[in-house]
Structure 1
Amino acid sequence: MYKRLLVALLFFILGANALAQNTFSISGIVRDKKDGLPGASIYLSGYKVATVADNNGRFKLTNLKPGSYDLLVQIVGYLPYSKSVIISDKSVEVDLVLKENVAQLDEVTVRADPNRQKYINQFKEFFIGKTPNATQCRILNPQVLNVDFDITKSTLTVSTTEFLVVENKALGYRLKYMLDHFEYNSRTHIIYYSGHPFFEELKASAAKKKKYIAAREVAYYGSSQHFFRSLYAGKSQEEGFIINKMVKIPNPNRYPEYLINGNLEKIKAVAEKTGIRQNKGKIDTALLAFWTKQKEMPRTIDKFSRADVLTDTLVHYFNQNLRYLNYTDGLLIQYTKEKESLAYSKTGFWIFRPLDVPENEISVANLTEGPVRFYENGGIYDSRSLLYEGYWAYEKIADMVPMDYIPLPKK
């Protein structure tokens, strides 16, 4: 009996040591130019992991797996701070030097902008989203948003020198979001934003928590985070994803570029020769309108390719913590375990599908600058390398769950 107890104790100690060897810590000091900053809040971007600096400004985050992390720091009177940290095979120590937030310390006079509320409403739509969950989200401090619209570029940009606080009563989170960049181009309809979210649990009753858990399951399954996790694990098909390609082909309704330009040049030459104001009758306005419309038509159209994309040829090993994708055309990803919602079908994000393709959730991931690297938890290392269309473009901050989110086991 004594020997068996000793052996069991030995296995327990060895197991604990093995677990400890596979996890690491990030520690260090938060300070300004001179002293440590006690009480500074330190967050891990994308997670629910946080701590507070001690009286000397020192902190420590433990039980971290190898990977890339973004540290976020918040304290009154200083600008929000972020630092990328990579853990490979040992713990990391960092020195975080903050700058004073002059906008907070000094009294600032803000010029009234009659269009400010319109721009903020656009920002909410393109940043938080238009899903059913988005209707239960609220920005608690919109006054920190700096909005600007460049009429020459048709571009709305939004920035802030403080953490943006978003309360999500659909999923039960309060997000502190460090917004790095946001822009929306009303000509191209391309939305781009990047930043660092930190998740806090909202206080709730047992019944409310149960609703949150169910809503988080729906938000997670079929998301890009779910897809990249399953892709890393080699289980994308098992998890319900089908991967095809969205191939761009020449637009059959558009004349060749040389022909369009040639006809427009001829019309322009006639106008210059005769004087368009004095001899309007000599310009065929219908012909001008036709070739102008041809010029505005897209050169290519999307074609749904039926050929399956095999994950063993798509996913490549980068290092022990990262995998990568590098491909041409767009990845067309179907999630077969959920159908497109009625709310989604009424938006402008809908992706063309052949009539015989089921109404599964469909997203297209376009590679803007490859390759794109991703982690085991579904996080993207090169966030600006991907441009989403379809369902993943429709779902935004309102449908986001933390990177350390673990769904309930399927029954």
Structure 2
Amino acid sequence: MSTNKTLSKHGFLVVVVLLVLILPSCQSTNEVLNEVASVNIYEFRGAVTDEETSEPLSGAQVMLEGTSFKTSTNELGEFSLNIPKGFYEVIVTQDGYRSMRRLVGFESATSQTFRLFNKSVVNSFSTKQEEPASIESLSKRVRYLEQKTDSLEKLVNSLKSSIRAQSDDSRLDKFADYYIGDAPGCDVLNPGDIKFADSDEPGVISIDEPVELIMENYNTGYRVIIKLNDFHAKDYGRVVRTNVDADYFFEELTAENNNQREKWKRNRQELFEGSFQHLLVALASEKPPIYFGYRFYSGNNVESVSGLGFTSSTVQDREVKKEYFVKKKPDKNLLEFDGEIRVEYIRKGVDDPNSIMGLSKYLNQTSWITLNKESIEFSENGMLKDKDALEIQGVWNYTTVCKMLPRDYIPPS
């Protein structure tokens, strides 16, 4: 009896200690999120014109990549959006014109003019008119083609083989596993538009040409327009390496009822916590990162092999504070460090159902960040000024589209 009572007391004490440790941490996380989420909203206005004539272009699309912000110009070629403080890639498109992309930082009300090149004008400088071919010239071409019958037959057979390869569901399934995600309720509406490139190299999947995909995610309540410029993946056995060049544009879906609306709210917040944007919010805060659930390590070949999410004693790998790689200036936050930083989010494990990340020995969610330049500025709401200047490996590198959120997302208070 006394043994049972002792165990009961100890069990009760363990529960109390856990609650004391966990509840303040969660509460502090919410407090800090609410604190930094109150970013200023600024007006972004401007105009879109023809580069040659300076005439206004009505109906031009103005979109902020990776967000749900978009609008179109009025009959005067003008537009206006209300944007939270941060850094955005603005993409402007108009039928018959070359699109334009520009990085814009919003720290106050901003006005911009976008001058688009007319494609027909651009082509006129590089394309010369050809005179109509004569009957004699056409006859020679016909005879030439007749002599190349064998080559044409080989070309047709090659095209048929390519079509058969594209119908191979295994590549589409792997493409979904590596990039889209296979969560129920998250589907690409036009998978038939994807054309895979032929490759003799085993384990390689790549697309043959750029494609625009439409995905609807009823787990988070977003429709995502994916402008996929390039995709390449190679299976090395224990890990799959992917290279993706894509733009993402988010649209809110309409909830059928309040239960679905609350489900989307919960799922969005769960995906946000532990994301790279969540990390930047934590780094911009005055609170210690552990309140958010983060620990950091630095050194050559930083890794974790103990199975407990801590560092290995066999490499030069040590835990560091955020001041080691984050420099706070009066008017900006900077990532600034050499080598690699390993980031552990201790409130989540490694979710790798397809075993493609090569992180089987890690207990906690683990990622690595490396800079390609001396420093990178980021905002309080988790936006990088130059996302191409940062390399990410680990869990964050394998974030599928089904788990993506708009870059402007912040959990509601």
TM range (shorter): 0.5 to 0.7
- Percent identity, aligned pairs only, is 21
> Cα distance, 1:389 vs. partner?
3.8
2:270 corresponds in structure 1 to: 218
> Could you list the runs of 5+ residues in structure 2 that have no partner in the other structure?
1-37, 121-155, 303-311
1:151-230 alignment runs, 5 A limit: 151=200, 156-158=205-207, 163-187=212-236, 189-205=240-256, 206-230=258-282
Between 80-89 and 203-212, report the one with greater CA deviation. 80-89
2:166 corresponds in structure 1 to: 116
Q: Which residue, 129, 137, 142 being the options, matches 2:191?
A: 142
SS at match of 2:88: strand
Contact 1:80 1:163 in 2 (8 A): no
1:44 corresponds in structure 2 to: 64
> Cα distance, 1:140 vs. partner?
2.2
Question: What amino acid does structure 1 have at the position aligned with 2:60?
Answer: A
Rounded to whole Å, the distance in 1 between the matches of 2:218 and 2:316 is 39
2:411 corresponds in structure 1 to: 407
Please state if 1:243 is matched with 2:296: yes
1:10-409 alignment runs, 5 A limit: 23-29=42-48, 31=50, 36-65=56-85, 67-74=86-93, 81-87=100-106, 91-97=110-116, 111=159, 113-117=163-167, 118-130=170-182, 134-151=183-200, 156-158=205-207, 163-187=212-236, 189-205=240-256, 206-235=258-287, 236-245=289-298, 247-248=300-301, 307-317=318-328, 320-329=331-340, 331-341=341-351, 344=352, 347-351=355-359, 353=361, 359-360=363-364, 362-367=365-370, 369-371=372-374, 373=376, 374-409=378-413
Rounded to whole Å, the distance in 1 between the matches of 2:379 and 2:45 is 19
Rounded to whole Å, the distance in 1 between the matches of 2:203 and 2:282 is 38
2:153 corresponds in structure 1 to: none
Contact 1:68 1:84 in 2 (8 A): yes
Contact 1:175 1:199 in 2 (8 A): yes
Rounded to whole Å, the distance in 2 between the matches of 1:191 and 1:170 is 25
Between 88-97 and 31-40, report the one with greater CA deviation. 31-40
> Cα distance, 1:68 vs. partner?
2.6
Between 201-210 and 141-150, report the one with greater CA deviation. 141-150
Contact 1:163 1:178 in 2 (8 A): yes
> Cα distance, 1:310 vs. partner?
0.9
SS at match of 2:320: coil
Rounded to whole Å, the distance in 2 between the matches of 1:154 and 1:80 is 35
> Cα distance, 1:399 vs. partner?
0.8
* Alpha-carbon spacing, 1:393–1:85, altered in 2? closer, same or farther (3 Å): closer
Between 56-65 and 222-231, report the one with greater CA deviation. 56-65
* Alpha-carbon spacing, 1:408–1:54, altered in 2? closer, same or farther (3 Å): closer
CA deviation vs aligned residue, 1:208-258 (integer Å, no higher than 9, x gap):
111111111111111111112211224422211111247439xxxxxxxxx
Backbone CA RMSD of aligned residues = 3.9
CA deviation vs aligned residue, 1:335-367 (integer Å, no higher than 9, x gap):
2223445xx36623252658xxxx33x222142
Between 397-406 and 71-80, report the one with greater CA deviation. 71-80
Rounded to whole Å, the distance in 1 between the matches of 2:74 and 2:42 is 23
* Alpha-carbon spacing, 1:246–1:210, altered in 2? closer, same or farther (3 Å): farther
* Alpha-carbon spacing, 1:30–1:56, altered in 2? closer, same or farther (3 Å): same
Contact 2:338 2:371 in 1 (8 A): no
Q: What TM-score, normalized by structure 2, do the two folds share?
A: 0.65
Rounded to whole Å, the distance in 2 between the matches of 1:21 and 1:208 is 29
Rounded to whole Å, the distance in 2 between the matches of 1:76 and 1:307 is 54
> Cα distance, 1:87 vs. partner?
4.0
Rounded to whole Å, the distance in 1 between the matches of 2:91 and 2:259 is 32
* Alpha-carbon spacing, 1:211–1:190, altered in 2? closer, same or farther (3 Å): same
> Cα distance, 1:393 vs. partner?
3.2
* Alpha-carbon spacing, 1:146–1:136, altered in 2? closer, same or farther (3 Å): same
> Could you list the runs of 5+ residues in structure 1 that have no partner in the other structure?
1-18, 102-108, 250-300
* Alpha-carbon spacing, 1:144–1:308, altered in 2? closer, same or farther (3 Å): same
* Alpha-carbon spacing, 1:62–1:386, altered in 2? closer, same or farther (3 Å): closer
SS at match of 1:195: strand
> Cα distance, 1:405 vs. partner?
1.3
Rounded to whole Å, the distance in 2 between the matches of 1:91 and 1:305 is 46
Question: What amino acid does structure 1 have at the position aligned with 2:366?
Answer: S
Rounded to whole Å, the distance in 1 between the matches of 2:393 and 2:223 is 27
Total equivalences in the alignment: 322
Rounded to whole Å, the distance in 2 between the matches of 1:306 and 1:20 is 36
Rounded to whole Å, the distance in 2 between the matches of 1:201 and 1:21 is 22
